[in-house]
Amino acid sequence: MTEAATARRSRITPEREAELYGAVLDLLREVGYDALTMDAVAARTRSSKATLYRQWGGKPELVAKAIRHNKPGSIDDVDTGTLRGDLQALTSREDDCTMQQNAALMRGLFMAVHANPDLLQAFKELLIEPEMAEFHRVVQRAVDRGEVRADCPALDYVVHMLVGAFATRTLIDDRPPTQEFLSSYIDAVVLPALGAPVG
């Protein structure tokens, strides 16, 4: 951030900033990126549009900041001793409500991120990478333990399997993703594809 930007940003309290970012994420879930207007953000947060533009420059910057701000902190390492135990523990850490909020946010951003590299980066940082780094760690430990063969071709597709099921659940079944769904999918698809024990 430039010094000028820091000076501009310092006028707003951290609490107010968090509140504003929360409202932006709510709007993203409700209407999606393309339909989200600075007018709506101003109305929802009782700010003036002039303030929003002065502080953030524009919609892409504001949305990217809001996503980054909401990025979860470092998560405790999960280590149950089996791949199944680890994957089930990772997916049950997020309650169904959070999971559905993230699914709605993913839908709201799915088109826009392909046209906006900065948004794509923020989106990956929030919704894809933190969880996926953790999934890669538990899978690597399963390889180290000999539960999964190091040359198993499905190792390249752990993220596709999990994010794909999460992202398409509502579309295919008219039901949002839940812990129960992901748990069943891990046992039915992810572990067998990796050749790891299910039971």
Binding residues vs a copy of itself (CB under 8 A): 31-35, 107-108, 110-114, 120, 124, 128, 153-154, 156-157, 159-161, 163-172, 184-185, 187-190, 192-193, 195
Nearer to a copy of itself, 98 or 168 (CB): 168
Tell the smallest beta-carbon distance from residue 69 to a copy of itself (Å).
Answer: 21
Q: Which two tokens stand for residue 24?
A: 């932006």
Distance CA 40, CA 49 (A): 9
Provide the terminal-to-terminal Cα distance of the chain, rounded to the nearest Å: 51
Distance CA 110, CA 73 (A): 23
* Dihedral over Cα of 183, 186, 188, 192: its sign: negative
Tell the smallest beta-carbon distance from residue 15 to a copy of itself (Å).
Answer: 30
Nearer to a copy of itself, 55 or 104 (CB): 104
Tell the smallest beta-carbon distance from residue 35 to a copy of itself (Å).
Answer: 4
Nearer to a copy of itself, 55 or 83 (CB): 83
Tell the smallest beta-carbon distance from residue 74 to a copy of itself (Å).
Answer: 22
CA contacts within 13 A on the Cβ side of 132: 18
Residues recorded for the chain: 199
Nearer to a copy of itself, 55 or 127 (CB): 127
95: nearest Cα among 1, 180, 6? 180
Tell the smallest beta-carbon distance from residue 131 to a copy of itself (Å).
Answer: 12
Q: Which two tokens stand for residue 99?
A: 């999971």
Nearer to a copy of itself, 12 or 155 (CB): 155
Q: Which two tokens stand for residue 66?
A: 């809001």
